[in-house]
Structure 1
Amino acid sequence: MSTVAAVAIGRNEGARLLRCLSTLKDQVARVVYVDSGSSDGSVQAARELGAEVVLLDTSVPFTAARARNAGFEALKAQGLPDLVQFVDGDCGLVPGWIAAAVAELEARPEVGIVTGWRSEIHPEASIYNALAEFEWHRPAGEIAACGGDMMVRATAFDAVGGFNPTVIAAEDDEFCARMRKSGRKIERLPLPMTRHDAAMTRFSQWWQRAIRSGHGFAQVGALHPEHFVAEQRRVWMFGAILPLILLVGLASVWHVAVLVLLAYGLSYLRTVGGLTREGLPRKQARAQAVFLSLSKFPNLIGMLRYYLRRARGSAMRIIEYK
């Protein structure tokens, strides 16, 4: 039987962290909690729950990638387990997930990462939580990339050098890209894995999260040109090119402006149709399509922020939304 340890990361997660660690302690042999400068008592609470605690150096910019690497190094210092379950501090692990993931990895040596379905605890609390809930539920089977909740072979993680600590968003996509290039497969099981608490109740939170996503599109796309190609193309088209054409049309050629508005309308209707085909009720699909259409603008801000930081040689600092 393979040995399993867990790495949880967080910052000021409060009760969510307690729930996370409580769901881990009975399913794995060791739990390492990596804290990124919390001020809410998370460190003491984690220690009281029996987790090994790693405190990140506050003089270096925090990233989820850096935190996960620190947790892995803490495990490595005392002898690596066979498998490592990574989980974010605002997620609780579903009972039975560890056993299912271990069985998959033991049966398929070509697989380096196993993930499952993340779901929201309160999808009904806000449209923003509902958006996250739909975002998490992707098809099972062999996949190109997954989120930060994953079980990884320790040797495979070590072989590819872990996460890239300079990537502030979509660091999991970047890690998965290198894992696939190393010859390992990534599998999503059709099973619930974690319960997430997005706690997004304000438009400003959703906007900042969308900015962060755009930053990830650009940064990971720069490192792996084959990644996020379609996402970046849509952002440039609907977030930059069409708005510029619209402004020109409003100023001089009115029928051009009408065509641009029609293009946005058609894109919205296509998005609604796609969401309904994936199982969303029509009313929810119409509401979510509004935000998916609007997201191209904060995505563009995030992409431009990355390019500006790269041009200036600035540090890639995290973009927080809660």
Structure 2
Amino acid sequence: MSNMLANYGVVAIGRNEGDRLVRCLNSIAGGDVPVVYVDSGSTDNSVSFAKGLGVEIVDLDMSVPFTAARARNAGYQALVASHPTLEYVQFVDGDCEVEADWLAKAADTLTADPKLGVITGWRSEIKPNDSVYNAICDDEWHAPAGPITACGGDMMVRRTAYDEVGGFEDTVIAAEDDEFCIRIGQAGWTLRRLPLSMTRHDAAIRSFTQWWRRATRAGHGFAQVGDMHAGYFAAPRRRVLLYAGVIPAIFLIGLVFWWPMALGALAIYAASYVKTARDLMRSGKSRNQALHHAVFMVISKFPNMIGFVQYYLRKRRGAAMQIIEYK
């Protein structure tokens, strides 16, 4: 057991995660590491289970729109209030279990480099073969180790870095982790991904509807965070506007005025599909997997666009950014 155990704690967040939360808390509770669980209005037995493990509980006030960012901030405040000497805080989503040696290694890495503000590792899916959607998620988590600009919500953060930027932005409903990391980097801190297994995730996406809502949520994140930080998410935003905006418009115009134009628009989609499938095969996917996954990667631009529209409509109306749930 590392001598850094007294210097870090864990904030787990969740809502109706069921057995996923059981695995999550069992992977981090019961030792010398302080744990805070933040619940966002669960109607299952999440809170009672966490209490049974002796974990500190924070119940979010549901009269205010809840977001993962708001939950992480509430958990952080509770954790440092009860353990003021902690130097580092590990954030983890309630649908993830933490690898046994991750916490100590992450803390040791932060201690060795005082310029590091955020450290993360590799996330993988627990059941990638349960559905094509889970497999796609597993592909998303595979990112190279080394210096990074941003990472997902599973991360260990230096308290001084967190405090300097003021934590997560409560109103960001998706990609709030990216937005937080951007500000960490802007404040002069470095961020790094270690070549180590960090968490095992259970996406539990078994239907097209769930996948569609998740892609809509991602589009909302592209739009909101890109709007907050000029240039960020520029490439995915361009792709969404092109494939779910410009090309469909060309197709419809072609149907009305000149059918070869409509065929040309369809040809662009076909070319995009072929290129995506080839790239997936080069990355190690089998031919069947690549052909299957490529379908969803191409059509994902349409739910992404719905997320774009939702964000800009809410912004124009001055409405609260309501979370988009997919499970």
TM exceeds 0.5? Answer: yes
Structure 1 residue 99 corresponds to structure 2 residue 99: no
* Letter aligned with residue 19 of structure 1: R
Specify which of 222, 230, 233 is matched with residue 235 of structure 2.
230
Runs of 4+ in 1 over 4 A off after TM superposition: none
Specify which of 169, 172, 180 is matched with residue 177 of structure 2.
172
Contact 1:23 1:92 in 2 (8 A): yes
CA shift for structure 1 position 26? 5.0
* Letter aligned with residue 47 of structure 1: K
Contact 1:12 1:42 in 2 (8 A): yes
* Letter aligned with residue 52 of structure 1: E
Specify which of 8, 30, 33 is matched with residue 4 of structure 1.
8
Percent of paired sites with the same residue? 57
Structure 1 residue 210 corresponds to structure 2 residue 215: yes
Deviates more, 1:277-286 or 1:158-167: 277-286
Aligned residues: 322
DSSP-derived class of the 1:159 partner: helix
* Letter aligned with residue 212 of structure 2: W
* 1:230-249 paired onto structure 2 within 5 Å: 230-249=235-254
Instruction: Give TM-score, length-normalised by structure 1.
Output: 0.98
DSSP-derived class of the 1:13 partner: coil
CA shift for structure 1 position 190? 1.0
2:287 counterpart residue number: 282
Residues in 2 aligned to 1:111 and 1:193: alpha-carbon distance in whole angstroms: 17
1:18 counterpart residue number: 22
DSSP-derived class of the 1:101 partner: helix
Residues in 2 aligned to 1:220 and 1:84: alpha-carbon distance in whole angstroms: 23
2:74 counterpart residue number: 70
* 1:259-274 paired onto structure 2 within 5 Å: 259-274=264-279
Contact 2:23 2:97 in 1 (8 A): yes
Contact 2:30 2:53 in 1 (8 A): no
1:32 counterpart residue number: 36
1:50 counterpart residue number: 54
CA shift for structure 1 position 95? 1.1
Contact 1:4 1:85 in 2 (8 A): yes
Instruction: Give TM-score, length-normalised by structure 2.
Output: 0.96
DSSP-derived class of the 2:38 partner: strand
2:95 counterpart residue number: 90
Residues in 2 aligned to 1:131 and 1:67: alpha-carbon distance in whole angstroms: 26
Residues in 2 aligned to 1:305 and 1:46: alpha-carbon distance in whole angstroms: 35
Residues in 2 aligned to 1:169 and 1:140: alpha-carbon distance in whole angstroms: 23
Residues in 2 aligned to 1:82 and 1:264: alpha-carbon distance in whole angstroms: 50
Instruction: String of CA shifts for 1:261-300, please: whole Å, max 9, x gaps.
Output: 1111111111112222222222211111100000000000
Contact 1:145 1:186 in 2 (8 A): yes
DSSP-derived class of the 2:322 partner: coil
CA shift for structure 1 position 105? 1.0
RMSD after superposition: 1.0
Contact 1:4 1:28 in 2 (8 A): no
Instruction: String of CA shifts for 1:18-77, please: whole Å, max 9, x gaps.
Output: 110110125652000000001111111101111100010010001000000000000121
1:191 counterpart residue number: 196
Residues 1:64 and 1:246: Cα distance change in structure 2 (over 3 Å): same
Gaps of 5+ in 2: none
Contact 1:146 1:173 in 2 (8 A): yes
